[in-house]
Structure 1
Amino acid sequence: MASHVAGRKEQMEVNMLVRDPHICQSINQNHCNRKYFPDHRLPDNVVATMDAKTAFTGADFCLHAVPVQFSGSFLEGVADYVEPGLPFISLSKGLELNTLRMMSQIIPQTLKNSRQPYVALSGPSFALELMNKLPTAMVVASKDKKLAKAVQQLLASRNLRISTTSDVTGVEIAGALKNVLAIAAGIVEGLDLGNNSMAALVAQGCSEIRWLSTKMGAKSTTISGLSGTGDIMLTCFVSLSRNRTVGVRLGSGETLDDILSSMNQVAEGVSTAGAVIALAQKYNVKMPVLTAVARIIDNELTPQKAVLELMNLPQVEEV
């Protein structure tokens, strides 16, 4: 996203706050993030820093891309440098374990500012394809329509369409749970269960996400839009998806520990799955596919037994 924004306007100064000194040096000296995008040159107006004060001073927007489970501790560390009017554009998808908080709750609560401007950015978008300037469409969600329009203008380009919505809950819940569904889709692939079961499982998962999100106050139209069905299709069916890859490897018989130790990026669905059972209970929603993923991750269920359980569920009227 830093590359995308910087590429739109040469005069725009884009500071990337990073943790790794080698990545920081690589970006500043070679205009390249050698860890994640070694074949892509970053615009000259992208500058990396490891100093939070430098990154935040004078900023007009903050693109927050820290994984959900680490966002609270990260924000605590930079809170002193965050202006109360600085808009946060969250790219992080998931639910915080134990608290079940969404990013729209984590950011203002951790910064101790209930009025911190907030926007959720979501939709079917692999970073690699955005870096390659392939056509992409996403959605920004904010309760503040004026802010949503401003972020739309900041991000929209010839290769990136940006829609707006006020349904923050729908966008965030769909963005979190689609990662769990992608693990389920990967398990089906890893077990080699075929296309029929894949289509049935993803359709059921979409319904479960809709049932829960609407109980939480979301609009059903959001779940059928870019941040819902659009993101679900991309994450469940394309091999670039980290969460789908975790599922494929689980279905193929690998252990979760071995899978996670071999990955250099976070698969948010693994952590978010732990929140699904609690949410299903809290809102009294039956979510057999997504809760099965949580039980597999917790070693309560094998992928093979999960399939048997799902196939033996009561056959009921479609809702």
Structure 2
Amino acid sequence: MSEQKRVAIIGSGNWGSAIAAVIGGNLQKEQTKFHREVRMWVFEEMINGRKLTEIINQDHENVKYLPGQKLPENVIAEPDILKAAEDADLLVFVLPHQFIARSCKQLVGKVKSGAIALSLVKGLNNPEPGKIGLISDIIKEQLGVEVGVLMGANIANEVAAGSFCETTIAFKNVEHGRLFRDAIQTENFRVTVVNDVANAELSGALKNIVAFAAGLIDGLYGEKAGNTKAAVIRLGIMEMIDFAEKFFPGGSRETFLESCGVADVITSSFGGRNRKCAEAFAKQPDKTVKQLQDEMLNGQLLQGPGTAEEVNHFLKAKGRENEFPLFTTVHRICVKEIPAKELLDHLRNHPVHK
């Protein structure tokens, strides 16, 4: 029998803990391909006088980021990122995208030879004006490993609770994607493997801007604006596809029909944190996005406003903001350059209507 492969999870927030619950549960049962233990890197913090790692390892629950959901006993919280990643064959990155470069820097030269990585990170990299890149490329370039992505219509609490859902794993080497699928797929968490990494990752990042726009509609007009919300979501999806084809050519439009695409936009626009905070932002114009994030998310970070900012910096440097009015308008609203009530004014003459 070949050597069992070790899995390590870099990150332990809401989504990180949820995927740890899924992988840990799988590897408790799987006795051949994978090592049973799953190490999870946890940024140490004190909760009611106890270390978070101590709580997770003793009580088997991430009481801050995934309260009420038990983690399998084979998920081991580790505060040292090097120890968490030590000897891991499969690295699962699930952090806010703002922290990826800093975390990878600590792992340079310390990753096992032949390891592969999977990014669950939804965001983009804007290294300098006029340039934009994928988070998976940061991991690949810094660590020298092949990197794929997992993106899908996956609200973390529902995944952890075992609700039926789908997700998409994208790897250029689909056999590597299937290896991660074997560690992740369950009866209720179904995985499709594709080879279109860029479009899958762009979908996961850009959908947060669309979800924020959908939340603004909820806050401005309430439940009676179903037609309006649907129109905004469709325009957002069209901008996602247009952005991918103009700046990351070579992918397939069919990828946007996978769970990472349309399905993720739908679930995020009706149930995600970006929608929730955007609704509150529209209703409370005296508050900033940062204030609402701190009040409502218990330490989690919003991705929509940050991604909108990165996209806007890129488009502005290119002189192409007008080609993406929804992306541009969401950014301007988030930074209070214009009020939320002006959203539709900037979409009525959208390029797709001409």
TM-score, normalized by length of structure 1? 0.92
Q: Tell me what 2:304 maps to.
A: 269
Q: Which residue of 2 aligns with 1:293?
A: 330
Instruction: Give CA-to-partner distance per residue, 1:225-275, whole Å, 9 cap, x none.
Output: 21110100000012xx11111211121123223212323201111110012
- Aligned pairs for 1:77-88 (under 5 A) are 77-88=106-117
Contact 1:69–1:97 (CA<8 Å) still a contact in 2? no
Bigger mean CA deviation after superposition, 53-62 or 169-178: 53-62
Structure 1 residues 157, 315: CA separation in 2 closer, same or farther (over 3 Å shift)?
Answer: closer
SS at match of 2:221: coil
- 2:21 corresponds to which residue? 3
Match of 2:274, as an amino acid? N
Return the offset for 1:307: 2.4
Q: Say whether 1:259 aligns with 2:259.
A: no
Cα distance between partner residues in 1 of 2:155 and 2:267: 9
CA offset at residue 14 of structure 1? 0.4
Distance 2:53 2:269 in 1: 33
Structure 1 counterpart of 2:136:
104
Partner of 1:92: 121
The alpha-carbon deviation at position 80 of structure 1 amounts to 3.6
| Partner in structure 1 of residue 38 of structure 2 | 14
Are the equivalent residues in 2 in contact too, given 1:142–1:168 (CA < 8 A)? yes
**Is 1:30 aligned to 2:59, yes or no?**
yes
| Cross-structure match for 1:57 | 86
Partner of 2:48: none
Contact 2:148 2:169 in 1 (8 A): yes
One-letter identity of the residue aligned with 1:20: E
Checking the alignment, whether the CA contact within 8 Å between 1:137 and 1:226 is kept in structure 2 is yes
Among candidates 213, 218, 223, match of residue 244 of structure 2: 213
Q: Give yes or no for contact 2:89–2:114 (8 Å, CA) kept in 1.
A: no
Displacement of 1:93 after TM fit? 0.4
Question: In the aligned structure 1, how far is the partner of 2:136 from the partner of 2:211?
Answer: 23
TM-score if structure 2 supplies the norm length? Answer: 0.83
What corresponds to 1:242 in structure 2?
Answer: 273
Deviation, structure 1 residue 81: 2.2
- 1:84/1:286 CA distance change after superposition, 3 Å: farther
Greater shift after overlay, 254-263 or 1-10?
254-263
Which among 229, 232, 236 is matched to residue 201 of structure 1? 232
Cα offsets for 1:78-112 (capped at 9, x unmatched): 2242124211111110112444221121102223x
Structure 2 counterpart SS, 1:9: helix
Equivalent position amino acid for 1:200 in 2: A
Q: Identity of aligned pairs, percent?
A: 29
Question: 1:278-306 CA deviation, whole Å, 9 max, x = no partner?
Answer: 44464958111111001112222111123
Q: Which ranges of structure 2 fall in alignment gaps of 5 or more residues?
A: 1-18, 46-50
TM-fit CA distance, 1:313 = 5.2
Segments of 4+ moved more than 6 angstroms: none
- When residues 150 and 307 of structure 1 are mapped into structure 2, their CA distance, relative to the original with a 3 A threshold, is same
Change (3 A) 1:302 1:118: same
Letter in 2 for 1:17: W
Aligned pairs for 1:69-218 (under 5 A) are 69-99=98-128, 100-111=132-143, 113=144, 116-192=145-221, 194-215=225-246, 216-217=248-249, 218=251
Deviation at 1:205, TM superposition (A): 0.7
